[in-house]
Structure 1
Amino acid sequence: MSTATEQSPINFTPDEGDGTMAPAYAVVFCLNYMMGSGYLTLPRAFADAGLVWGLSILVAVSIGATAAAECLLDCMARAGWIAAARALPESGGSFCRVPLDAPSPPVTRLQREAPRPVQLPDLCALYLGDTGYAAYVTLISGYMLGSLWCYAAIFAAALEANLAPSGHVLYVGLFAVFVVPLSLKDLADQKAVQTLLAFGRVVMLAVMLVTALTYLWSMGPIAPMPKRTGPFDGVAALAPVVTFSLVLHHSVPQIVAPVKVRSEFDKNVLFRRAFVGACLLYALFAAPVAYLFGEKTQSAANLGWATYHHVHDASDPRDALKTRLIAWLAQFVVLYPAVNVLATYPLNVITFGDALLAAHRRFQANGEVSATPPSRTSVRIARLVAAVPPLIGACIQPDISSVTNVTGCFGLFLCAVVPGVLSLAARRLAPGPTEHASPLNGKAAAVALVLVGLVLTAGSLAAAL
């Protein structure tokens, strides 16, 4: 069994040209899935709950999110054993239905070494039956609709802050012109675009951090932190916001399927690096911004830079140049999230559309195995069905804060409870260690995910309502 310390560093390699991608691109895709819009709401949540609570829950949720991703990898491997043992056709790909009424013959060592990719709807149908499948489709639909709704609203809000404030519907329409065509492409076809936009996001976060620290050093906080009447004020609302910033678990199969790695355990390492990177970026970004703006922190933190400025002596040319530079940087911070969600929206549409198509094929086949892969036309139609309704919602309700609280509760359940339940059910149906086995996806970790996820989801939903 390989260990994390035995793996070579992730490096970019030229495009293989066969629909695959190098491991480092998977880390980029992970960050792009997570850092769509949720991370912009972190500073406000940190300000409301306090920096100590904010950083503590961020670290705790990051560890739990890593464990959940590894649990899903373990479940996928076990599903591969069952598919191989039942001699299911390889041509069916991830959309091939695993028959629930067929008995599972004993799995040989040879069959265990030939896993096949299985999507999350397949996993729920295999391990939890029709009820579990229906529950997952309901959860993912609620989460994805809310997430995509927020992305479109953030794009329009960023343009409204810099251009005509009354053109919200027009800006959502402009957003649709960019994201709908990208949603019809496969992930491997978007490597260059996703990498470039991920680099731009890092630059934006660096600008926000440097300008925030500079302002704090020279002038102090813009406003005091919000007054809190008790030590737990704002904590219940913090968990779904942090989770919303770290959820990618509904897309684990899509991320790992095209990745070329030397061993299956490398996929565990990919998610560990992605979540560690996201946790560090979020901590460096959210804490200083929350402390800078205090009670004036906006629900989308980047909008605070629309009025960010330093006071300088205009008679000094150096100060005048500095003032203009700060104004340009502030404009970049306000506008870049609009560009960023252009990358994240198609990624989530692909996941949502594929889940809808799998549900449709399951209904059409009446539970029978379909060895025929879906046509390119049906895939595109499903993705259009996934892409359009959130755009309409963003035209009707542009306030993201009223959407993210409830959407984060869906994310908590998907991020913790679903992977934990699947892991426990998978171990019962197909026991034995897999190539992904680690302390983070053992039985104890799965039980902890379920229990903690249920408590946090219940508390967060109560706070949201």
Structure 2
Amino acid sequence: MAGGITETGELYSPYVGMVYMFNLIVGTGALTMPKAFATAGWVVSLALIIFLGFMSYMTTTFVIESMAAANAHLRWKRREKKKADDDADSSPGVSDVEDDDVVIRGASETRPILSVQRSGSCDSFNIEERVEMGQMASMFFNKVGVNMFYICIIVYLYGDLAIYAAAVPVSLMQVTCFSSGNNSCSGGSSEKHNDTDPCWGSLKRIDAYRIFLTIFILFLGPFTFFNAQKTKYLQIITSLMRWIAFTIMIVLALIRIGKGQGDGDPPVAKLSGIPNLFGVCVYSFMCQHSLPSVVTPISSKKHINKLFLLDYFFILGFYLLLSFTAIFCFKSSSIMDMYTLNFTNCDIIKIAFFRYFLGLFPVFTISTNFPIIAVTLRNNWKTLFHREGGTYPWLVDRIIFPLITLIPPVIIAFTTHNLEMLVGITGAYAGTGIQYIIPAFLVFCSRKDMRLIFGSHFVNKHRSPFKHTFWVFFVFLWAVFCLMFVTANIILTETKH
């Protein structure tokens, strides 16, 4: 998953929105997908990624419908508040201490009145105000639901930070240790190395990894204590680098396969690799939590569901092209957790610049996202424990929250640098919550809220094509099945070991 679009001051066309959506989804997860395909088998991988792409699109339409409902709810609430204020001005008997929210809730529970019925028109559901998922959760969920939402987001962001914290040192270790060896142009980075293999003199590869991890945290960790904003130009640069890297890898793999130099031997199906493949695919289709930032600035949203469906076809095609060229170009046992590292030797690329560009590509792109994710996680912690009207002491606000944000992912990264496993677990657990459970609950509760406000005949022009309640419960059942399956597999694997 790539970083979300945060700058929404200017409107853009639906086609620009498609590009932003594409860049939002295609990110770090794509680099771990070839390894997951090679582990699970190409037939199983093909079937699973198509199905998970379909499920992700369905819940994307759920979030868009919920955004429209949230906009309608806010418009109705303002109208009711204005009407209550006007009534209070013309009725001196109304208590001065009466709470506006009580008046609003009372109105929704006792009537739809004429003004409310008129407000249920299609225009009420225009998506003009950006309503983030946390705000929608506060609007449609009870207190327990809101807390569960923030816990799920926090766990996911911890997983993101752990993946980023491990990916950068792994890339640096692979490039520098490989380059310093005597066989830098004969062995190839596609060969498997042990952590105990030598790197620089008496230092082992794991020592190099930990040194790079320490440097990474010392340089980027302090941003957690301040605020960071992703600029438009930084976003353009990282997107450009990403597409240059992906294009080079796909073209080189196709050339090797076309010349008969591909030595890939992917299995047809390998059930033991399915749980991890599931987690990687869920992580790689993650976009639901950032949809408000992408969808709201789109100038015309009339055909947004169809445009995003086309986007999903492009994304699915790209993932299949990247992964299938990888598994038929390289042996399954030699595909690296971070796919870019398969291209950092002279046998694959003769030009040194391109070898180092691909090897260090995750370093540049991930490093720009790490402070953004860290600040987002810190702010979510603050929101979770926020009390109305209360403020945090300086020590808690500026020291404690940044530390609890930074320390857990650093510990995880020092413990393991198995990126495939980190992406798989993050996607399988927190990803299931964000991509399936939360959107399903949002659309279910928002529909209930709209019926309460506007009556049973309201028309949400941005409603999901999957409007029947069956699809909501289908998503719930699928999410529960996935969690049970992945957990059972992990338990069985640990028992065997």
Q: Normalization by structure 2: what TM-score?
A: 0.72
1:169: how far off?
4.1
Q: Which residue of 2 aligns with 1:8?
A: none
Residue number among 249, 260, 265 corresponding to 2:288 in the alignment = 249
Distance 1:446 1:348 in 2: 29
Partner of 1:224: 265
Asked whether the equivalents of residues 184 and 383 of structure 1 are also in contact (C-alpha less than 8 Å), the reply is no
Deviation at 1:108, TM superposition (A): 4.2
Deviation at 1:274, TM superposition (A): 4.1
**What per-residue deviation string (whole Å, max 9, x for no partner) do you get for residues 9-48 of structure 1?**
xxxxxxxx98335345644543444333211221111112
Is 2:437 aligned against 1:417? yes
Task: Find 2:359's aligned residue among 334, 345, 349.
Answer: 334
Is 2:193 the counterpart of 1:184?
no
Q: 1:304 aligns with which of 326, 330, 342?
A: 342
CA distance in 2, matches of 1:194, 1:388: 27
Q: Is the 8 A contact 1:247 1:415 kept in 2?
A: yes
- Aligned-residue offset at 1:446: 2.5
Distance change in 2, residues 1:443/1:181 (3 Å): same
In the TM superposition, residue 233 of structure 1 has moved relative to its aligned partner by: 4.5
Deviation at 1:155, TM superposition (A): 1.1
1:154 aligns with 2:167: yes
1:142 lines up with 2:162 in the alignment: no
The structure 1 residue matched to 2:44, chosen from 45, 49, 53, is 53
Give yes or no for the alignment of 1:458 onto 2:484. Answer: yes
Q: Contact (CA 8 Å) 1:143, 1:411: kept in 2 or not?
A: yes
Alignment of 1:236-315 (within 5 A): 236-257=275-296, 259-262=297-300, 264-265=301-302, 267-268=304-305, 271-296=308-333, 297-307=335-345, 309=347
Q: Label 1:126 to 1:244 Cα distance change in 2 as closer, same or farther (>3 A).
A: same
- Distance in 2 (CA, whole Å) between partners of 1:99 and 1:287 is 58
Aligned to 2:426: 407
Equivalence for 2:473: 447
What displacement does 1:154 show? 0.7
* Distance of aligned partners of 1:185 and 1:89 in 2 relative to their CA distance in 1, 3 Å threshold: farther
Are the structure 2 counterparts of residues 330 and 385 from structure 1 closer, same or farther at C-alpha, using a change threshold of 3 Å? same
Q: 1:284 to 1:411 in 2, by over 3 A?
A: same
Question: Which structure: larger Rg?
Answer: 2
Q: Specify the code of the residue in structure 2 equivalent to 1:242.
A: C
- Compute the displacement of 1:422 (Å): 1.9
Structure 1: 5+ residue stretches without partners: 1-16, 91-97, 311-322, 367-371, 373-377
AA of the residue aligned to 1:276? F
290 and 109 in structure 1: CA distance in 2 versus 1, 3 angstrom threshold = farther
Distance 1:461 1:267, change over 3 A: farther
- What's the TM-score, normalizing by structure 1? 0.76
Alpha-carbon offset, residue 113 of structure 1: 5.1
Unaligned runs of at least 5 residues, structure 2 = 1-6, 83-100, 178-204, 392-396, 452-457, 492-497
Equivalent position of 1:22 in the other structure: 12
Residue of structure 1 in register with 2:409 after alignment: 390
Asked whether 1:77 is paired with 2:68, we answer: yes
CA 1:272–1:358: 2 relative to 1, 3 Å: farther
CA distances 1:377-415 after superposition (whole Å, capped 9, x unpaired): x89997886466534542443332332222111212321
Q: Please tell me the root mean square deviation across aligned C-alpha atoms, in Å.
A: 3.6
Q: Deviations over 1:413-438 (max 9, x none)?
A: 32112211221222122133323124
**Counterpart Cα distance in 1 of 2:400 and 2:295:** 24
Greater mean alpha carbon deviation, residues 57-66 or residues 350-359: 350-359
| Structure-2 residue corresponding to 1:14 | none
C-alpha distance in 1 between matches for 2:259 and 2:490: 37
Question: Counterparts of 2:24 and 2:303 in 1: how far apart (Å)?
Answer: 19
Task: Give the whole-Å Cα distance in 1 for the aligned partners of 2:325 and 2:309.
Answer: 25
- In percent, how many aligned pairs have the same letter? 19
Contact 2:62-2:464 at 8 Å conserved across structures: no
Corresponding residue of 1:65: 56
- How much has 1:307 moved relative to structure 2? 4.1
- The answer to whether the Cα contact below 8 Å between 2:174 and 2:341 also exists between their aligned partners in 1 is yes
Q: Say if 1:221 and 1:447 are closer, same or farther in 2 by CA, change over 3 A.
A: same
Please name the residue that 1:129 is paired with.
142
CA deviations on 1:59-81 (whole Å, 9 max, x unpaired) are 22122212211211211222232
CA distance in 1, matches of 2:361, 2:473: 40
| Cα separation, 2, equivalents of 1:387 and 1:31 | 29
Partner of residue 250, structure 2 = 209
Query: What letter matches 2:423 in structure 1?
Result: T
Q: Which residue of structure 1 lines up, in the alignment, with residue 118 of structure 2?
A: 109
| 1:214 CA displacement | 2.0
Aligned pairs, number: 413
Q: Which whole-Å CA distance do the structure 1 matches of 2:81 and 2:484 have between them?
A: 41
Deviation for aligned residue 1:195: 2.1
Please state whether the residue corresponding to 1:85 is helix, strand or coil: helix
- Per-residue deviation at 1:284? 0.8
